[in-house]
Amino acid sequence: MRKAGVGAAAVVLLAVLLFFAVSSWSRQPAIARPSVQPINFPHSVHVQTYKIDCQYCHADARRSEYAGIPSVERCMGCHKIVAADRPEIKKLAEYAGKQTPVPWTRVYKLPEFTYFPHKAHIRAEIRCQTCHGAVETMTTIAAAPGPTLANDLLNLVGFKPSAPVLTMGWCVECHRQQNATRKTQAPLDCVTCHH
Ligand code: HEC
Ligand code: HEC
Ligand code: HEC
Ligand code: HEC
Ligand code: HEC
């Protein structure tokens, strides 16, 4: 009788493990590609060495859903003169000459069924770095990955690893914490983030 109980428990545990493994693999995670960019744009040089503010280039962040990427014209405002002889800047000048935008590869991307407005977060004075990491040190920007099997397993055995960046758990954890400590009204209802 006892043996059968243990056996059944093992089967259930195995089923649960399998379920988590499969759901973790089959989930469409938020994209976090290593970025291969058409121009090797170094954030570190611009932000750290030359003290250019994030919002000078990502100027839409405080007023719209998107942060936005600067236009070629904006880059050329400096690079018509600055480092004009370097190979990467010559590529930039070529796009400017053809009047085509640089086809940057998107790094941070949530699935289509979610709604994330930058505006609300910038106005609530959350730093870019809280969500995007130490961009000022990056030569190539990279996003941390979404859900992982390791995290699912840790959760299963009762540990609580903090949710990885770009997952729903990450959004909700911060919303709960901000609402509790700063009396903000960050949404916890499904429809505000999913519509
Ligand atoms: C609360 C977390 C959070 C903060 C704070 C934040 N971002 Fe983002 N950012 C995201 C998420 C999530 C995405 C992906 C959004 C999507 O795919 O809809 C993103 C996408 C982006 C993108 C690419 C798409 C776009 O919107 O143009 C840029 C550029 C960006 N962020 C820059 C910034 C800058 C600059 C700041 C600070 C002024 C900032 N972010 C602050 C979470 C954040
Ligand atoms: C406010 C001025 C300014 C703006 C705007 C600016 N840059 Fe720069 N950028 C610099 C300076 C200064 C350097 C460092 C040049 C040096 O090493 O002497 C630099 C360096 C670079 C480099 C490295 C060049 C190399 O190979 O050493 C690249 C690539 C670059 N910028 C691309 C861009 C792009 C793309 C944009 C637009 C999104 C842009 N920059 C906007 C000032 C600017
Ligand atoms: C000189 C202009 C410039 C400045 C200043 C700048 N960025 Fe960017 N940023 C860019 C360009 C160009 C790209 C697209 C190329 C890339 O992904 O490397 C970009 C890409 C990004 C992305 C990835 C967008 C995506 O595709 O998901 C994030 C996040 C970001 N920047 C955040 C920041 C933060 C945070 C700061 C300040 C610490 C900052 N940037 C300062 C020009 C700039
Ligand atoms: C603060 C914003 C936010 C709230 C509130 C929120 N979600 Fe999400 N949800 C997200 C984001 C972002 C993703 C995509 C990232 C991911 O897959 O983890 C997501 C993913 C999902 C997914 C897909 C899961 C997967 O693994 O592919 C489902 C289903 C979902 N949410 C349902 C809900 C329901 C039901 C509620 C209400 C109880 C809810 N969400 C509340 C932001 C939110
Ligand atoms: C670091 C903390 C933090 C993270 C991470 C975060 N948020 Fe928020 N979010 C906030 C705060 C703070 C507010 C503003 C609440 C207020 O204004 O009272 C907010 C507000 C919002 C709003 C309401 C916008 C409005 O117009 O009222 C939405 C939607 C939202 N967040 C979605 C998301 C989604 C989706 C994610 C994950 C991809 C996310 N947030 C991640 C802190 C965060």
pLDDT at 15 over 70: no
| Mutation to probe ligand 1, out of 62, 69, 119, 131 (largest number of atoms < 8 A from CB) | 131
Q: Would you state the pLDDT for residue 1?
A: 45
Q: Would you state the pLDDT for residue 162?
A: 73
Burial 152-171 (b: 16+ CB within 10 A, else e): beeeeeeeeeebbbbbbbbb
Which residue is closest in CA terms to ligand 1's atom 19?
A: 108
The string of pLDDT tens digits covering residues 54-76 is: 999 999 999 999 999 999 999 99
First to last CA, the chain: 51
Q: What H or E segment, with its residue span, contains residue 79?
A: helix 72-79
Ligand 4 nearest-atom number relative to CA 169: 18
Ligand 5 nearest-atom number relative to CA 193: 29
Ligand 3 nearest-atom number relative to CA 35: 17
Domain edges within the chain? 43-69+104-192
The string of pLDDT tens digits covering residues 90-104 is: 999 999 999 999 999
Mean pLDDT score across all residues of the chain: 85
In the reported structure, the alpha carbon of residue 46 is separated from the centroid of ligand 2 by a whole-number distance in angstroms of 6
Which residue is closest in CA terms to ligand 3's atom 42?
A: 57
Has this prediction a pTM greater than 0.85?
yes
| Nearest-ligand number for the alpha carbon of 87 | 2
Q: What percent of the chain has pLDDT over 90?
A: 61
| Cα 31 from Cα 146, distance rounded (Å) | 7
pLDDT, mean of residues 121-141: 92
